[in-house]
Amino acid sequence: LGNRTRPCLKKKKKKSNSREFNKFGKTTCLEFFSNATEVEVLTEPVSKWRNVRGHNPLGLMYHDASRWGLTLQTYVQLTMLDRHTRPQVSSVRLMERSIHSARYIFVENLYRSGKMPEVDYVVLSEWFDWILRNMDVSVDLIVYLRTNPETCYQRLKKRCREEEKVIPLEYLEAIHHLHEEWLIKGSLFPVAAPVLVIEADHHMERMLELFEQNRDRILTPENRKHCP
């Protein structure tokens, strides 16, 4: 991601910039910006997580996180790495989450909730740390669509994704708390990029207005330093 020129490469690459989107409303936001010039959108590879040669690790994890958490998150890390490292075809890349949020939010939640043994957590962390040291998985901006857990829960029920029917409100509260620790307080892990916070509890019309108001911050690299 970012396809930045490394010191060992002589051929100069086209400068590119990547944005990561987090929390509910990501799909709507990405759709809003998808028609902009020189923008490519990479959505979450949910279809891959639901069907790995006939198996559904996403569904298995939601029904028995202690048994299948490592299985799913190993595959999530692989598919996210694939998205980060594939050739970038436009000057701005918008990603629905990234390898960073996969590790810092969802793996962390499994471990903190006691549903991932420490040995699994350490192995995933070792893989992630190796990737950070050896691959370019950087992002230039994180767009945090900040949403109340209760709002997330209601939207989740409306979405009616089969695997998500068993998700309780408490799970969403834990995920929200980790996002706040990571992106607002900065007390969880190092933040990979500047963070743009957009309050996302509003109705659709208001959200579209907010997306438009933040268009330059999201799509123009030199404006990212102005993010709150």
Residues forming a β-bridge with 94: 19, 41
pLDDT, residue 3, reads 36
Q: How far apart (Å, rounded) are the C-alpha atoms in residues 163 and 167?
A: 8
Read off the pLDDT of residues 118-146 as tens digits, 9 standing for 90 and up. 999 999 999 999 999 999 999 999 999 99
- Structural domains in the chain, sorted by start: 17-226 (3.40.50.300)
Residues forming a β-bridge with 92: 17, 39
Buried b (16+ CB within 10 A) or exposed e, 7-31: eeeeeeeeebbbbbbbbbbbeebbe
Neighbours of 126 (CB within 10 A): 10
Read off the pLDDT of residues 41-83 as tens digits, 9 standing for 90 and up. 999 999 999 999 999 999 999 999 999 999 999 999 999 999 9
Query: Do 24 and 14 meet the contact criterion of CB atoms below 8 Å apart?
Result: no
Residue type, 212: E
| pTM (two decimals) | 0.84
Q: How far apart (Å, rounded) are the C-alpha atoms in residues 4 and 136?
A: 8
Which is the catalytic residue, given 20, 44, 96, 108? 96
Q: How far apart (Å, rounded) are the C-alpha atoms in residues 85 and 72?
A: 20
Output the six-digit token pair for 148.
């109340």
Query: Do 198 and 146 meet the contact criterion of CB atoms below 8 Å apart?
Result: yes
Question: Is 209 in the active site?
Answer: no
Helix (H) or strand (E) holding 92: strand 92-96
Q: How far apart (Å, rounded) are the C-alpha atoms in residues 156 and 163?
A: 11
